[in-house]
Amino acid sequence: MNRIEFSQQLIVQRESAGIGKNELCRLTGFTFNQLQYLEKASNNYNINLVCTYLAAIKSKMVLLKGKKRKVICDFEGFADWMTSTRKLEYTQRALADKAGITYVTIANIESKKHIVRIDTLLKIVDVLGYTIKIENNEHFDPSSNREKRTVYPYNI
């Protein structure tokens, strides 16, 4: 997947949520130009912008590999997932070489010194064998990085 395809998934999800561009700008604090750049994939935006966008449209980014499923809500969550997943198969240098980036970038992401940009994220996810899906989930609480469970009252 490339940046354009990823941005198209964002647009489809926004439209299916019934949220217009002006409303999204109000919800996120983005300027209209910032939103245009993000949706047209004109620049290499960072994961924090994506997470803000997804939270506003009540959606989530899910990484899938077979039956494995990981919800990513913020940069820290991605960095933790990448570190644990990478250690199963690759060294930092090996992952960097396969992804076409420097190992310093991998080290900085893992130490949370460098917020990952979307192009780098897509390369890493691809090398690790995962796919990205944007899903709508109104029962998702991005602040807790997990799905809310409905609690039903019961009689004692």
Q: Is residue 119 part of a domain?
A: yes
pLDDT of res. 138? 61
Amino acid at 53: Y
The proportion of the chain whose per-residue pLDDT surpasses 70, expressed as a percent, equals 88
Instruction: Give how many domains the chain has, as a whole number.
Output: 1
Q: Is residue 146 part of a domain?
A: no
Digit-coded pLDDT (tens) for 68-105: 999 998 999 999 999 999 999 999 999 999 999 999 99
Q: Is residue 29 part of a domain?
A: yes
Q: Is residue 87 part of a domain?
A: yes
- Per-residue pLDDT band at 150 (split at 50, 70, 90): very low
* 55 phi/psi in degrees, rounded to 5: -65, -40
Q: Is residue 36 part of a domain?
A: yes
Q: Is residue 40 part of a domain?
A: yes
Q: Is residue 147 part of a domain?
A: no
- In this structure, what CATH number is given to the domain that contains residue 79? 1.10.260.40
Coil, helix or strand for 2? coil
The pTM score is: 0.82
Q: Is the pLDDT of residue 142 over 60?
A: no
Q: Is residue 43 part of a domain?
A: yes
Containing structural domain, residue 101: 3-138
Reference 51, options 75, 24, 27, 22; nearest CA is 75
Digit-coded pLDDT (tens) for 9-23: 999 999 999 999 999
pLDDT of res. 109? 95
